[in-house]
Structure 1
Amino acid sequence: MRLVDAFARTARCYPDRPAVVTDDGRRFTYDELDERSTRLATALRERVGSGRCAVLSLNSPVAVEAMLAGNKRGVATLQLSYRVTPTALVEMAEAGAARALVFDDDNADAALELLETGSFEAAIHAGDRPVDHPEVESYESVLADASPDLPPGLPEGDECAVLYTSGTTSTPKAVLFDQEQLWYGAVQGVMEHGIDETDVALCTTPWYHMVTTDAWLYPHFVAGASVVLHSEFDPAEALELVAAHDVTGVLAVPTQLRALNDVQREAGYDVDSLAYIRTGGAIVTEELVADTSEQLSDQVYNTYGMTEAGPDLTFAHPRAQKDHPGTVGKEAFSWEIRVVETAPLSADPDPDATVDPGERGEVIARGPGMSEGYIDSPVAEEKSYFDGWLRTRDVAEKDEDGYLYIVDRVDNMFISGGENVYPAEVERVIESHPDVAEACVFGLDDEQWGSVVSAVVVTDADLTEDEVEAFCRGHDSLADFKRPRTCTVTDEPLPRTDTGTLMRERLVERYVGE
């Protein structure tokens, strides 16, 4: 099934239900959202034919309308990040071959700079800010002049979106998805959370990410639920929106969850309506789940996915986390997940070389929701896709019951004294200290040991390096060779992407230098 057909069904069944509510008080019903996205689709077809449209916007109705308009055209929408550099924006737009650009007030300066490349045949500005550019049209004027009826022949294809990897070590790579591929993720979300038309979801993570698009927006639109768009994350504002709109579902990466918990602990907003909280994108500790259960809701879902394959490779329900703490769950429906012997990047893993329960290996995955590759990085594609499988580059193990536990990224591992050290293991231990907010572990070059374990620890308490090292020495689950030999304590948050991924190289440069 295509997402365009799924949304048409929702608009028929729930035309008067609120589809989108903004944090500044605007509301759009499904009938209104359907008409506005159709008008945008017809307007774009008039201007760029079958050309793709790039969108540069905060979480807003404009972003949602552009997504739906792309589906109605059957032409992918380029979901650009507003947090990357101008150079990266140009590369992202060029990789996806965008011919139209839609942008909002907050991103007008970046959009005007992007237009200077001369690659766009149409530019549409949504907002009230004056924009001095002869080729830029007003979004509302464009919609007002466009036809509310789709012409024959639309959708002309099955494209849905060009999504981008997090780009922690390089320019984000472009990944093309069709509507059926993302349909699997949307249905997965509906099934796992039990979403229906009575639900109200708060959208706090940037709309352009895979997890927001396919694990949050599309599932709720498919089910006929309402989505409250939080333009930019602020924990107090988010909790105010939960209380004001009787929000039932929240998507938040671990760093956001910690911030929500901290504010809720002090302010005590009415959050009794919350029925499901989805998290993932970074390590989810037992302590975070316990704190979230106490402050917000005990219905915390831990998930595992990636841009190239969708947000739902595995799903850990609240009950699974109680019996199997730390798990990201079992493989989701329509997916096959294997943990196999790790191979170098120059060789493909053997899908049949699965490791035994409790042993570590590399996660590979396949399923109908998987993309077919990168549209701009053939070398990276060759290293990631093989024989219908996707290499995740994640180290993991399964227990006797088949539950998956992510250990770390293959690329993060370093060797100290001949032993493999996975930073995430050490970080989990350090972050279990009640005064530690977050931690990053990495290897420092050492003549004797090859590398020594080093840590940067974030806290707002009066915690010393010696106390951190003593805590690690006394922790039963941490072998001696994994203990930090050097430690820096700071109150500065660790650098992360907006999906919570730790930017290790940037952190090492900050504290160690070149």
Structure 2
Amino acid sequence: MGLTRALHRAVQVNGNGAATIAGARVQSWRAFTDRVARLAGALQARGAGRGARVAMLARNSDRYLEYYYATFWAGGIAVPINTRWAVPEMVFALDDAGAEILIVDHHFQHLVPEIAQAAPRLRTIVFCGDGQGPAGALAWEEMAAHGDPIDDADGDWDEVAGIFYTGGTTGRSKGVMLSHGNLFTNSMAEAIWLNLRQRSSYLHAAPSFHLADAAAGFATTAVAGCHLFVDAFDPSAVLDVIRARGATHLLLVPTMIQMLLEHPAFVADDMRSVETIFYGGSPMSEALLARAIWAFPNAALVQAYGMTETTAIATVLEPGYHTLAGPLAGRLNSVGRAASHVEVQVVDGRGAEHPPGGVGEIVVRGPNVMKGYWNLPDLTAATVRNGWMHTGDAGYMDADGFLHVVDRLKDMIISGGENVYSAEVENAIAQHPGVRLCAVIGIPDARWGEAVHAVVWPTGPAAVRGEEIIAHCRKLIAGYKCPRSVDVTDRPVPLSAAGKILKNVLREPYWDSQGRQVH
């Protein structure tokens, strides 16, 4: 059962209903599905057959949703590219996945010559944006208008549907293989948790390359609801779409919620259409929760914890626990309980389950667990053992089954909802000739939850300054991964007996007053 089954149902039950609204463009489910069949035919004619990888580098739009479903309809594998990456990171993912087709919009067409030169496996560039596309690129609209429609490939349950790249503690990105079954199961579950219905309208405010937004989008399609779009998160644009289109469902990180509430155009009475706010990336503070409850008078709040490897979701903190008073209060420091289709445990080093309160590694089992890492069988075997996905996160379960995350075994930093892996940043910093040793940690930040902070031991006095480190990193990795602050020091390096830098020692001065090691 492939993800495209949802399109057939949507045509049957809501064929004339709005499927996508992007600015002035409005498509019904019947028109959307017809375009998908034609786009799939055009892609397949250019080599995107069963198992072929098709990449997308674009901001949010109805074309991004068409890309996902046209790729699935043709039998291909979607490879969404992080728009915040530097070009070398994009090229790595394209080469690693073996993508031969890349679809770009007008925001990124200027990168095509550089990408094409560095990624020789690319054979076809498709332009899906506004205006004139790059020289030699195919036109998305021409493909949609004149492509020969093909029958739905209807991917198998265990067949890979997408390769979603995520940072890695080894310093290289990892392609997470998610099957049609992984994504279909998650979409059914999300539709229930988020109370999605046919009359619902989900606003794509988070980036469409990110699995969290893609998964919520698949859930919206599953109920034949409506997709609304802003091309990137901008508080003003989000507020405009909510007011104009009556958006019912939002997926945000707490930082985004805070930015909306602080915007001068925010008016609580204009937010009455919003029924559900789904958030993750970090727990919500009680102060922000109180403001959000007032600001979105009709909205239920739902928190999720998970990762790409668990198809975005492992646990859910339901709306009833988003309260500051009464018998259900006091759960906001948790990330909720196991989602309806998932088993979650906290285990010790031998894999035995800890009793309530015991801190250990969080592991997850269920139909949401990835098929594995693309081209990394050894890492897959080390990460998924006996069906259990080992998250690398440390936490504990309380007596009522609520999971509390207390640290990250993999030194992952979550800044504004984006995952930043310290080893990847350290690899970039270490390439500076003035750096002898370095360590990257997350430190508290009132706006972003955590900020990337680098500690650098230079090769000699005045060998490097903090500003130079940040500028150096911006040439190699995405801006959100770059350090926001740098401590160039001659203090002794805190080392373990095995010779590893003790990051917990580096973190202590920043987190002592916080009561835990992560937000």
> Above 0.5 in TM-score?
yes
Provide the residue aligned with 1:292 in structure 2: 292
Which residue identity is paired with 1:373?
Answer: G
Query: Do the aligned residues in 2 keep the contact of 1:176 with 1:371 (CA within 8 Å)?
Result: yes
Provide the residue aligned with 2:230 in structure 1: 230
Structure-2 change in CA distance of 1:287 and 1:359 (3 Å): farther
Provide the residue aligned with 1:401 in structure 2: 400
| 120, 123, 144: which one aligns with 2:122 | 120
Provide the residue aligned with 1:221 in structure 2: 221
1:250 paired with 2:256, answer no
User: Offset of 1:264 from its aligned partner?
Assistant: 6.4
Structure-2 change in CA distance of 1:127 and 1:325 (3 Å): closer
Which residue identity is paired with 1:354?
Answer: E
Runs of 4+ in 1 over 4 A off after TM superposition: 166-169, 264-269, 436-446, 511-514
2: CA distance, partners of 1:112 / 1:104? 14
Provide the residue aligned with 2:336 in structure 1: 329
1:313 paired with 2:314, answer yes
Which residue identity is paired with 2:131?
Answer: R
SS at match of 1:411: coil
2: CA distance, partners of 1:121 / 1:439? 40
TM-score of the aligned structures, taking structure 1 as reference length: 0.78
1:270 paired with 2:247, answer no
**Identical columns (%):** 23
Structure-2 change in CA distance of 1:165 and 1:88 (3 Å): same
User: Offset of 1:207 from its aligned partner?
Assistant: 0.5
SS at match of 2:39: helix
User: Offset of 1:132 from its aligned partner?
Assistant: 4.4
Structure-2 change in CA distance of 1:248 and 1:355 (3 Å): same
SS at match of 1:69: helix
Structure-2 change in CA distance of 1:145 and 1:412 (3 Å): closer
SS at match of 1:119: coil
1: CA distance, partners of 2:220 / 2:256? 21
TM-score of the aligned structures, taking structure 2 as reference length: 0.77
CA-atom RMSD, angstroms?
A: 3.1
User: Offset of 1:82 from its aligned partner?
Assistant: 1.4
User: Offset of 1:252 from its aligned partner?
Assistant: 0.5
User: Offset of 1:320 from its aligned partner?
Assistant: 2.4
Provide the residue aligned with 1:34 in structure 2: 33
Query: Do the aligned residues in 1 keep the contact of 2:3 with 2:155 (CA within 8 Å)?
Result: no
1: CA distance, partners of 2:207 / 2:105? 14
* Alignment gaps of 5+ in structure 2: 413-440, 458-472, 474-478, 491-519
User: Offset of 1:170 from its aligned partner?
Assistant: 3.1
Which residue identity is paired with 1:388?
Answer: G
SS at match of 1:282: coil
1:129 paired with 2:131, answer yes
- 5 Å matches for 1:196-207? 196-207=197-208
SS at match of 2:255: helix
Query: Do the aligned residues in 1 keep the contact of 2:255 with 2:448 (CA within 8 Å)?
Result: no
Structure-2 change in CA distance of 1:441 and 1:222 (3 Å): closer
Provide the residue aligned with 2:142 in structure 1: 141
Structure-2 change in CA distance of 1:118 and 1:292 (3 Å): same
Provide the residue aligned with 2:346 in structure 1: 339
Q: Deviations over 1:113-151 (max 9, x none)?
A: 2222321232211134333423x1111112222113427
Which residue identity is paired with 1:211?
Answer: A
Query: Do the aligned residues in 2 keep the contact of 1:265 with 1:295 (CA within 8 Å)?
Result: no
Query: Do the aligned residues in 1 keep the contact of 2:268 with 2:296 (CA within 8 Å)?
Result: no
| 479, 483, 503: which one aligns with 1:506 | 483
Structure-2 change in CA distance of 1:511 and 1:262 (3 Å): farther
* Alignment gaps of 5+ in structure 1: 344-349, 414-422, 447-494, 496-500
User: Offset of 1:103 from its aligned partner?
Assistant: 1.2
2: CA distance, partners of 1:507 / 1:393? 25
Provide the residue aligned with 1:111 in structure 2: 112
Query: Do the aligned residues in 1 keep the contact of 2:126 with 2:140 (CA within 8 Å)?
Result: yes
Provide the residue aligned with 1:178 in structure 2: 179
Query: Do the aligned residues in 2 keep the contact of 1:21 with 1:27 (CA within 8 Å)?
Result: yes
Structure-2 change in CA distance of 1:266 and 1:238 (3 Å): closer
Higher mean displacement: 264-273 or 88-97: 264-273
Query: Do the aligned residues in 2 keep the contact of 1:48 with 1:121 (CA within 8 Å)?
Result: no
User: Offset of 1:176 from its aligned partner?
Assistant: 1.6
User: Offset of 1:182 from its aligned partner?
Assistant: 0.4
Which residue identity is paired with 1:401?
Answer: D
2: CA distance, partners of 1:506 / 1:289? 29
1: CA distance, partners of 2:110 / 2:243? 34
User: Offset of 1:377 from its aligned partner?
Assistant: 3.5
- Aligned residue pairs total 435
Q: Deviations over 1:138-191 (max 9, x none)?
A: 11112222113427xx34653311111145873431112221110011001111
Which residue identity is paired with 2:387?
Answer: G
1:97 paired with 2:104, answer no
SS at match of 2:364: strand
Query: Do the aligned residues in 1 keep the contact of 2:72 with 2:161 (CA within 8 Å)?
Result: yes
Query: Do the aligned residues in 1 keep the contact of 2:20 with 2:228 (CA within 8 Å)?
Result: yes
SS at match of 2:84: coil
SS at match of 1:106: coil
Provide the residue aligned with 2:193 in structure 1: 192
2: CA distance, partners of 1:200 / 1:35? 21
Provide the residue aligned with 2:53 in structure 1: 52
Query: Do the aligned residues in 2 keep the contact of 1:339 with 1:361 (CA within 8 Å)?
Result: yes
SS at match of 2:151: coil
User: Offset of 1:400 from its aligned partner?
Assistant: 1.4
Which residue identity is paired with 1:295?
Answer: A
Structure-2 change in CA distance of 1:304 and 1:439 (3 Å): closer
User: Offset of 1:444 from its aligned partner?
Assistant: 6.9
1:25 paired with 2:24, answer yes
Query: Do the aligned residues in 1 keep the contact of 2:54 with 2:79 (CA within 8 Å)?
Result: yes
SS at match of 1:312: coil
2: CA distance, partners of 1:325 / 1:387? 32
Query: Do the aligned residues in 2 keep the contact of 1:205 with 1:251 (CA within 8 Å)?
Result: yes
